[in-house]
């Protein structure tokens, strides 16, 4: 399995605080069956230029590298890029894609998006420069009209949701419905630490195996590899 969304790099954002915690997170993901993981610290354009962000990310990776081991998934560096106006014109946006790919993990504002914002994301999708992967869409689902999701899907956006959405209880039925309708294509953990936001791919695996059956669940997770390829 692949985890496309995580905050494992030590000291980079509100995720892991130390190389040791990062190593524990990576071991736990591996134990849950994750063999590839994208390390996607937050990128905020009002805090960093891409150049500065990449330098910081390089330093965080240098802290992590000595503790990497065989009992961990393979990793690739990326970013969770927070949307801002005219994002498509920012120089160096490509450098924030998942390394070796054109996948841009995009975090949207937590409100009802304006027509201008929706159009800009559509343009990003249609530009041919990126595969736009929309981060944790379950957080935005209720605040947008259904037509917005249809438009973004037609434009080629890829929808990522967090594994916690599949927890048994209130939202699991909706999570499964969205997956069946194609509005959940990728599941990531968005893990931040080994406490409240720990690696939890096992939650999604259990839900999919139970609700879809082992074969369909396996097919679903296998499709994620298409987005990882160079």
Residues of this chain that interact with Fe ion (CB under 5 A) are 80, 190
Cβ–Cβ < 8 Å for 7, 230: no
Tally of CA atoms within 13 A in the half-sphere of 133 that contains its CB: 31
**Minimum distance of Fe ion from residue 91's CB (angstroms):** 24
How many angstroms separate the CA atoms of 97 and 80, rounded?
9
Q: Which is nearer to Fe ion, 140 or 217 (CB)?
A: 140
**Minimum distance of Fe ion from residue 7's CB (angstroms):** 6
Residue number of the CB atom closest to Fe ion: 190
**Minimum distance of Fe ion from residue 115's CB (angstroms):** 26
115 three-state secondary structure: helix
How many angstroms separate the CA atoms of 187 and 3, rounded?
7
Q: Which is nearer to Fe ion, 217 or 224 (CB)?
A: 224
Q: Which is nearer to Fe ion, 3 or 217 (CB)?
A: 3
**Minimum distance of Fe ion from residue 157's CB (angstroms):** 17
For residue 25, give the nearest of 80, 75, 77 by alpha carbon.
Answer: 75
Strand pairing class (74-77; 131-134): unpaired
Q: Which is nearer to Fe ion, 159 or 217 (CB)?
A: 159
């Amino acid at each position: 399995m692949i985890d496309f969304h995580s905050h494992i790099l030590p000291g980079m954002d509100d995720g892991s605080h130390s190389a040791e915690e990062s190593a524990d997170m990576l071991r736990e993901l591996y134990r849950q069956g994750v063999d590839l993981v994208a390390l996607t610290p937050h990128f905020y354009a009002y805090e960093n230029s891409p150049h500065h962000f990449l330098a910081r990310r390089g330093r965080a990776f240098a802290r992590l590298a000595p503790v990497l081991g065989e009992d961990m998934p393979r990793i690739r560096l990326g970013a969770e890029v927070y949307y801002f106006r005219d994002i498509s014109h920012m120089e160096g946006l490509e450098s924030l894609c998942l390394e070796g790919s054109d996948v841009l993990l995009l975090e949207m504002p937590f409100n009802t998006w304006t027509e201008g914002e929706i159009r800009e994301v559509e343009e990003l999708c249609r530009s041919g420069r990126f595969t736009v992967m929309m981060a944790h869409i379950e957080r935005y689902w209720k605040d947008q009209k259904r037509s917005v999701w249809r438009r973004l899907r037609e434009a080629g956006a890829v929808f990522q949701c967090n594994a916690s959405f599949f927890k048994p209880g209130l939202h699991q039925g909706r999570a499964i419905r969205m997956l069946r309708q194609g509005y959940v294509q990728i599941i990531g953990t968005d893990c931040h630490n080994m406490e409240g936001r720990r690696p939890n791919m096992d939650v999604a695996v259990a839900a999919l195996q139970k609700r879809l059956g082992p074969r369909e669940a396996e097919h679903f997770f296998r499709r994620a590899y298409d987005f990882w390829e160079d």
